[in-house]
Structure 1
Amino acid sequence: MDDSIKRWTAKRKTALVSEIIQGKTTVAEASRSFDLTPSEIEGWVEDAKRGMENSLRANPLDIREQYEKQLKDLQEAYGEAMLELRARKKAASPAGCAGRELIRSIQQGLLSEGIMVSIAKLCAWFGVPRRTVYYTPTKAAPKVDPRFADPIKEMIEQEPSFGYRTVAWLLGFNKNTVQRIFQLKGWQVRKRAIGMRPRIQAVPSVATAPNERWSTDLARVWTGKDGWASLALVIDCHTRELLGWHLSRSGKATTATAALEHALIARFGTLGRVEREFLLRSDNGLVFTSRHFTALVRSYGLRQEFITPHCPQQNGMVERVIRTLKEQCTHRHRFESIQHATRVIGDWISFYNHRRPHQALAMRTPAEAFRLAA
């Protein structure tokens, strides 16, 4: 060896390792001579042996093994790519799925075809964190207190058309609590679909004080063996109070006259000319435009006003009362006769005037609204 070389270059290491392999020196002698550790010299020897082994391995058989390994790796990569493509096609089919539901649905779809793919691989393909798939929600389902739910259920079974405000007022519960229970239980009243229809500009059927404007209209009611009957109603447009009504087998002017006289007695206590003239609104039906009815209205000191033809929304207050009466009363009973219908409708009108709250009256009943206004 050339002792003038001071640095342990690759050439100097090769010379020392060759002497040790040839037996000219030992690891211990080299360690003492060159002030090196035995482990360091042994590491050089092992590296040299591995290098010689690799250089001698380059024969046709080894090259074939390398090609076969590369081909196998390519086949595995191609198979995984095709599997990922299949999974992505399945991911396009379920609509509205994301995260955990997406990964689970894809795995189940592939499993049904006999292909097992791990959750980790699917998450890597679709960029979904694994913790999203494995996460189990711990939030408990909302609980409903039976102290509130039972009375509410009992009331809406009796009156299915009652909304949450009416139920809350009648039971003395907080309306937000009742609304929440309605939502959780699916007890909301379904609203009727209303399409877009043209409206004209006209004076609405409203009043700023009692006995300023009344409104009247007719409705048809099935009374069993007595057939169809006509129901005439009269309401005060300010208090929404049903003042007069009459159910008759004939739809003549006498039916509307009886309802009007009933309203005058209920409000003023007697029949006769009113002290101050006020309006009576109606549609243009033959009953309300007849000579008998118009003469009677004038004799009591009232002044008639008629809505625009084919515009029932201008008489909306009494039309809305008729709808409420049908939903909550007449459509829920199978009347046997006109006497049976008269009794049931009379009970409901009493309930409407004295017990049923009205949202437009700040959840007061029509009778309470009249007392406050008077």
Structure 2
Amino acid sequence: MPVSRFVELVGIPRRSYTRWLARERAGGGPGKGPWPAPAVEAAEPIVEKYAQVWPAWGHRKIYGLLVADGYDFSASTVERAMRRRNLLQPVTYQRERRQLAAARKAAFADQPSRPYQVWQLDFSEYETITGGVWRLAGCADYYSKYEFGWHVATTSTAADAIAAVELAIAEAERLVQRPLLEQQTDPDTGEIRPVMLVTDNGSAFTSVRFERFLRTRPELSHVRTRANTPGQNGVRERAFGSLKYEHLYRLEIDDGQSLATEAEQYRQVFNHTRPHEALGLRRPAEVHHEDQQTQASTASN
């Protein structure tokens, strides 16, 4: 078969083939690239330093943190610098995150427009080295992604669910510096605008004890997702995934006390340090704080 015919069959453009052939006959010459990349080369040591501090983060999270710290790098520059130093996450890591993001977007038809409109509550399991299997329960604010705290126990009963909600209420009241019921009550009409607490249909959330507890908290309204639709609790599931893959799975945790300590340490990072893509690379604590200031300004006017 003539070489030119073979080139056509494998899909190489004829012009490319003849150009390569002419270069070869001329004794070879420098091919295309690698071109100079001064921006990437200047960014590499700085990007590597950040990526080593946060080894579980992808290039967009590292980019957001660099921008917050005053560096003028583009996202593509950060990605290329991490690729050069072999610091990028595996392809499957990004695919899983995109799938969870799609589920999160489908959670509600009418998206919440401020904090304290929708909270999501669920359990997640973690097995320690010597202490057996533990369950973490916690509420996350759907709008700001703020984590209110995690209750750690060996069970996932109604009592554990109630403890997680009480923990969330206490943290919310600490943030707003007043009772949650007072914040959710319209000062003009006295109407209560309850926080919608979203859970799945697990036995802890369908129990009489849990429903009886919620009836004593008019600032909360309980809604359960449809059966077999975990995507409707996407923000909660996504944050549990971040906790495990970015922190817990990288450690050797002996018992429940160590688990609680490490989970709380990550919660502080998640709320106050880690840029969140769904928030425009802001932190959950920033969104919470900014919204509270806006509401206070609106009320005073």
Query: When the two structures are superposed, what TM-score results if normalisation uses the length of structure 1?
Result: 0.61
Does 1:164 find its partner at 2:36?
no
What's 1:239 paired with? 144
Name structure 2 gaps, 5 residues minimum: 185-193, 293-301
8 Å CA contact 1:205, 1:317 repeated in 2: no
Aligned residue type for 1:167: I
Name structure 1 gaps, 5 residues minimum: 1-84, 103-122
What's 1:175 paired with? 74
Residues in 2 aligned to 1:98 and 1:362: alpha-carbon distance in whole angstroms: 43
What's 1:154 paired with? 49
Aligned residues: 263
Aligned residue type for 1:330: L
Residues in 1 aligned to 2:249 and 2:178: alpha-carbon distance in whole angstroms: 33
Residues 167/100 of structure 1: CA separation in 2 closer, same or farther (3 Å cut): same
8 Å CA contact 2:150, 2:263 repeated in 1: no
8 Å CA contact 2:130, 2:255 repeated in 1: yes
Residues 355/95 of structure 1: CA separation in 2 closer, same or farther (3 Å cut): same
Match for 2:88 among 188, 193, 216? Answer: 188
Taking the TM superposition and a 5 Å limit, the aligned residue runs for 1:183-332 are 183-189=83-89, 190=91, 191-192=94-95, 203-204=108-109, 206-269=111-174, 274-275=181-182, 276=184, 277-301=194-218, 302-332=220-250
Structure of higher RCO (CA pairs closer than 8 Å, 6+ residues apart): 2
Quote the offset at 1:235 in angstroms: 0.8
Taking the TM superposition and a 5 Å limit, the aligned residue runs for 1:1-374 are 88=3, 91=6, 130-131=22-23, 133-134=25-26, 135-137=28-30, 139-143=33-37, 147-171=42-66, 172=69, 173=71, 174-176=73-75, 177-189=77-89, 190=91, 191-192=94-95, 203-204=108-109, 206-269=111-174, 274-275=181-182, 276=184, 277-301=194-218, 302-374=220-292
8 Å CA contact 1:169, 1:175 repeated in 2: no
Could you list the per-position Cα deviations for residues 53-84 of structure 1 after superposition, in whole angstroms to 9, with x for gaps in the alignment? xxxxxxxxxxxxxxxxxxxxxxxxxxxxxxxx
Residues 137/237 of structure 1: CA separation in 2 closer, same or farther (3 Å cut): same
Residues in 2 aligned to 1:128 and 1:373: alpha-carbon distance in whole angstroms: 61
Residues in 1 aligned to 2:255 and 2:20: alpha-carbon distance in whole angstroms: 69
Residues in 2 aligned to 1:129 and 1:249: alpha-carbon distance in whole angstroms: 70
Residues in 2 aligned to 1:362 and 1:273: alpha-carbon distance in whole angstroms: 27
Quote the offset at 1:187 in angstroms: 3.6
Residues 219/129 of structure 1: CA separation in 2 closer, same or farther (3 Å cut): closer
8 Å CA contact 1:273, 1:299 repeated in 2: no
- Identity across matched positions, percent: 24
8 Å CA contact 1:166, 1:357 repeated in 2: yes
What's the secondary structure of 1:263's corresponding residue?
A: helix
Residues 205/180 of structure 1: CA separation in 2 closer, same or farther (3 Å cut): farther
Q: Could you say which structure has the larger radius of gyration? A: 1
